[in-house]
Amino acid sequence: MKRFLCIALSALLLLALTLSSPAEEAIETVVTIVRTPEQDHAERPPCFPDPADQFIPLPETENYALNKPASAANHADVYVIKNVNDGKTDTYWESKGFPAEVVIDLQGSFQVSTVAVCLNPSSIWEPRIQEIAVQLSLDGETYAEAAQAADYQFSADTGNRIRIDFTPAEAAVVKVIFLKNSSSRTMGAQAAEIGVY
* Shortest reach from residue 191's CB to Ca ion, in Å: 8
Total interface residues for Ca ion by CB under 5 A: 6
Residue 163: exposed, middle, or buried by beta-carbon count in 10 A (0-12, 13-18, 19+)? Answer: middle
Binding test (CB under 5 A) with Ca ion, winner from 88, 123, 142, 168: 88
Phi, then psi, of 81 in degrees rounded to 5: -65, -30
| 91 binds Ca ion, rule: CB under 5 A | yes
**Parallel, antiparallel, or unpaired for β 70-72 and 193-196?**
unpaired
What's the rounded Cα separation, in Å, for the pair 174 and 106?
7
Write down the number of H helices and E strands in the chain.
1, 8
Which lies closer to Ca ion via its Cβ, residue 117 or residue 173? 117
Q: Segment near Ca ion (CB under 5 A), from 25-33, 51-59, 86-94, 167-175?
A: 86-94
Segments of the chain assigned E as strands: 70-72, 93-94, 100-118, 128-137, 143-154, 161-181, 190-191, 193-196
Q: Which residues pair with 176 in a beta bridge?
A: 102, 134
Which lies closer to Ca ion via its Cβ, residue 118 or residue 133? 118
Which lies closer to Ca ion via its Cβ, residue 44 or residue 88? 88
Which lies closer to Ca ion via its Cβ, residue 121 or residue 175? 121
Which lies closer to Ca ion via its Cβ, residue 74 or residue 142? 74
* Shortest reach from residue 193's CB to Ca ion, in Å: 5
Binding test (CB under 5 A) with Ca ion, winner from 83, 114, 130, 135: 83
Q: Would you call 190 helix, strand, or coil by DSSP?
A: strand
Binding test (CB under 5 A) with Ca ion, winner from 59, 76, 86, 183: 86
| 190 binds Ca ion, rule: CB under 5 A | no
What's the rounded Cα separation, in Å, for the pair 92 and 191?
6
* Shortest reach from residue 152's CB to Ca ion, in Å: 18
> Residues interacting with Ca ion, by CB under 5 A?
83, 86, 88, 91, 192-193
